[in-house]
Amino acid sequence: MNAGKVYLVGAGPGDPGLISAKGLECLKKADVIIYDHLLDTCLLNSAPPEAERIYVGKRAGEHTKPQDEINQLLVAKAKEGKTVVRLKGGDPFVLGRGGEEAEVLAQNGILFEVVPGITSAVAVPAYAGIPVTHRRMASSFAVITGHEDIAKDGSSINWAKLATGVDTLIFLMGVKNLPEIVAKLLEHGRPPTTPVAVVKDGTRPEQEVVTAPLKDIVAEVSKHRLTPPAVIIVGEVVQLREKLRWFDRRPLFGKRILVTRARHQASALSQLLAERGAQVIELPAITIQAVADSGELDRAISNLKDYHWIIFTSANGVAIFWERLAVLKLDSRILSSLKVGAIGPATAEALMTKGITPDYVPEIYTSEGIIAGLKDQDIAGQRVLLPRAEIADKELTQGLKQLGALVDEIAIYRTVPDKEAIAQAKEMLLSGQIDVITFTSSSTVSNLVAAFSGEPLARINRAIVACIGPKTAQTAKRAGLEVAIMAKEQTIPGLVAAIEEYFQKEL
């Protein structure tokens, strides 16, 4: 068997968006991922589902595996002919022991490659609004381990030269030793008024920053009860934080928001919320499945020439419809003789990815909006095909019939509770870990509420409930939930905007 290859990949300091494109490419082809504690595990989703995932994380006082065992694990997996990704927080070669791992691989004749990552030494200060260099304040910076026992004989840190010889000092893993670090800097001439910042969980939604003069920083960190992991920044550049801070000034910074969309749809909402600073918990309440019996849909597709309109009421409906076309060896050309309607921009966008530009999208993205707009389309006597969810309400169908249309409503997909995800959501809600719950459909409401059977709904109502539109809000209210936020525009961006507006009013 041919030997495999090991990629020593830097995952960045915590924000999963900071991994390099090459790092993601390595993950996509990995047979084995051996990963650390200080990284966002959502990165593991980029690897093939069948890839082996091995956690070897280390934290203060708790080592899953000693370094020697990790080194030998890398060698063993590579000798099995596997493509191995050693996924490390920050950069592998900046206080990450990647150099030791590379040495062992070289000694064993294992092919390896280093994929650098963004070190927390520069990324964490940047996310705190602190440039490590600045033309007026700092022309040099140093990165120092804060983990070394400062009291030991033969310390590798030359404090006498370091304290005043470098403008900006960055200590990694130094919270436990902060009193000793401060004492050494003061002893060797660093002014007691030097600004210092300690950044906990840097680049993450829960980031916390404490600043104080060097002489007071130990007391301030103790007062705020900061614990590892944290980065310590010493230097005049810390003064710039109040002017340049951006990460923790985003409108939803620090808010923990539960996203309850279908599993494959959650990313768009999650991304928008994360961009605005929220800590997103993706716990889909439903999964989408095509109905078991596709006979009715197949017959409608074979008779599409008999219809005048086809109206899609969700992106899910578009996806399932085109999956069925593919099974029948058909494509978008079969709709060439029909007018196509979409309930809103997300559905319209899903159609456009299939090469179909909708003939009609209402100004108000609801069933009522569709009906109001079609009053001017002279659809009396025309046949309309509605491929929809199994539990869709009848308002659209009845409204079209009142306009004189001949409507064939076909259930093409069903929403199914995601039991594992809902159980996790229930646990988090009961323990008060969620600030906002988002609901983007009635089925997400029903499935989450059903999970709380026997529990007081007050447990859910401790979180703020945000709904994408009146239909979803109606379902939530009927279930006994208190709806605090409803989107004015019934789209994902509209929902995010409504959440932002709510918290701005709260300030």
C-alpha torsion sign, points 323, 328, 331, 334: negative
CA-based nearest residue to 428, from 260, 268, 227, 250: 260
User: Where in the sequence numbering do the catalytic residues fall?
Assistant: 36, 58, 173
Give yes or no for a contact between 92 and 74, defined as CB atoms under 8 angstroms apart. Answer: no
7 exposed, middle or buried (CB, 10 Å; 0-12, 13-18, 19+)?
A: buried
Three-class DSSP category at 418? coil
Q: Which residue has the tokens 């310590």?
A: 232
* C-alpha distances out from residue 414 to 350, 391, 410, 446, Å: 18, 7, 11, 14
Give yes or no for a contact between 107 and 32, defined as CB atoms under 8 angstroms apart. Answer: no
CA-based nearest residue to 481, from 455, 461, 453: 461
> Cis before residue 229, ω within 30 degrees of 0?
yes
Strand order in the sheet with 83-88: 52-55, 32-35, 83-88, 5-10, 111-115
Classify residue 138 by its DSSP letter. B
